[in-house]
Structure 1
């Protein structure tokens, strides 16, 4: 970003100093992180954490937000600063503690945004052996009443952030276009109420759609319907979707940020995605000629799931990264069901959700499927298209899902087309095999017993019977080794023709004739074994040079 772009970005997301936000110049970080009590970063981290968490913008003018830049980072980098803060701020949580770094492209000025999590239940955060707090935009020592409030917090009962009342918000903070769109989607979800909805004023509609709580604006109301300029009311949350376009090598080609209202922003992100037509295999009668590369419903479901299950208290953003052949969606927060299999295999919605109030509101305005069934339906729709299943990458604080926009393995696609009776469990297990993802011995045994795969770990592939049934005999043959005699004859014939062969020449001779599913290391081992057997056991070829630079000739009889 240029200086002007970064300035606008900061003004949009951190527009004023308050209990959740502080601007600091801090040109030299050497003594600014843990230095003078009441003035250093550690003190402000303690104060903001002891409220509801928030952000500290470093490298800007205090009071004006003008960008001055950090001139001396000392030995700090964004990755190590959180660790340093954990060392000087007792009880500070690592969950959600992060540094967002920006350097302007025109003036090379560096700005850091420190994202600070809320204190843990019953654990005030200390700096310099004192607990601090905010009073408006002022820094003070922790008041007894605030300390008592923290120490009295319940442990183990999860608070629904999405249902919290935003006391400073009114209907004036909501976007009229977003409300209109929400009405349309509510009628789509509840067509029998269309005439009634037309008679409701906005206050009544928001209550009926479960977007407000007793006519009070909630965090969910602002997330979905809030005006862009009302984003500060949700601080320390950063309600933002970033769309990034990358080429096949992962090089960024473009990006765009989308903020409130997220109901409208989701549609704008969807419109950015290049959903070209995809042509199936031309020689196959099993598939239609062409379809959209991505099912629009799947795009919306994946994106809306990110909105619904984002942990907004961590201060992260939702990312949608578009590659030529796939879409990667990610959001911050743990995956409460622990793994995708738990979601797919159960027949009832999970007992626990993050943001239950938000999820219910999104169901009402047709943003997500009936609670608990969306992910399973994504899998089923991809199976119907004969496309790969989604890839889920789940970390402790982040969930990433990849949706593919093309067939990766023709044998797999033909297998799905020819065997519609396969269960979703079978398809998912087979999908892991064709992607060379880790599979349990139990899963591989199950697929092998059903005659779907053969081969040994890690080189497992679609079995001969399935390949034959789906017309993929050539692809199957590529994964099967030829008889040893075939390779021996090749070696002897080449040596007879050229007089001698070195190891590199033998590699070039045999490399592409070995099964396609062997790795480079396995190919080298295979060639070693062939040479050793042909020379030591069969005595057909001999080395007329050194062991380090062998020169193979036919042995004299």
Structure 2
């Protein structure tokens, strides 16, 4: 069975058979699913084993009673009962489908509102309720019919759309066989002979687009070191459809094509400030996830050290800066469908994976996302964090066939030199440390990475043998020093500078993370190899007498 995610939830049969508290909890799950994208609750499957007990039998009466009681415990929630199923182990289970609410807000019978954040249900805050109401309007915006007939749009618009769709390898054959008007209807650009808002965005002229509330407009602004405007281009005349607009922005944004150079043997390696695929993905995200019910332009601001893209509307409901890598929620699903089929954007949920892969390979910071109700800003730095990591990532990518997940994880390890399991889990935005295995398992098997330590103390680093074979002139670093060698350095340091604080030792061993120094010091204290003052905040350490005698002898 699938893992639990934003649209799938597993519940034990005991939730619906033992007391009312389980059903109330189930009602909360129904509400939070209805307020986002809907989903399925699978009842009778144990959460840990992901399978029902082999001897479990479920009478139809329990299934019907469950749905009936849930309908009484939550309002504005559409619940339907699916057929009973039998697992391969013989145990029975059933599921209920929760449909998304399109215009109303789902609540429990007590009037409480819940939303889905990743795979968790959380109470809605005041600002969440405002966003939720706004999202309902945004979801309907695309399909609202305008008083514009197909005969009133510019000649050639339907022909252009038909040719674009038929030339795409992402479109199924039966769609390519449709007529031009049927293709427009298939993508909800035309309904009953009239254009929708989405249809005017793609097929209308500048007058028709200008009447949309609110049209797609963009401003591109370049700043100097003092953050003064030095160049500005805008697209506010509504003359272009989304594809032509995107291509024109990429053509005009010459500053985004600048690059850095650094030596690589007899040659010079060029790394663009912003990879072309990264620019495309950030721009298309701004267009696809813009709130078309909020007034405002998309702003592309280019500074000497960073790129900022701001679009009207906050992040889609259920998505935060801390789960954006694994959580998806379509604000404009029909627009996204066309952009995907025209090969302008990656598949659902894979856009930020590509961004993380690119920034990891170029050893650049991951984009910073800042979002409130009115706008979302994505800031991407142009700075290369580690030139050696760029060369190393390039060597490994050419020498080993690696998946996108593996490249993302490898990029994190390469830039940090060494990373703990807990830190890797956090940077990959994972809820469970066990899921890290899917990112680094094969990297360990292939000998690209090695691990040290156990459980939460496990740390990963690039295999020294691989560094040697790469023939890249990588400078040695104390960041990856082995524990016993670090202990010897600390002993030598305290022999010269007794009664030192951990931070003072860190200043003299500046490359070594303070966490590693503290770990060794605490271990030496437990073994009686170090002594220390009684105060906790500014504790000083020195070699124990027996340790000093061993050194002298």
Give the TM-score normalised by the residue count of structure 1.
0.48
Find the structure with the greater CA-based Rg: 1
Give the TM-score normalised by the residue count of structure 2.
0.48
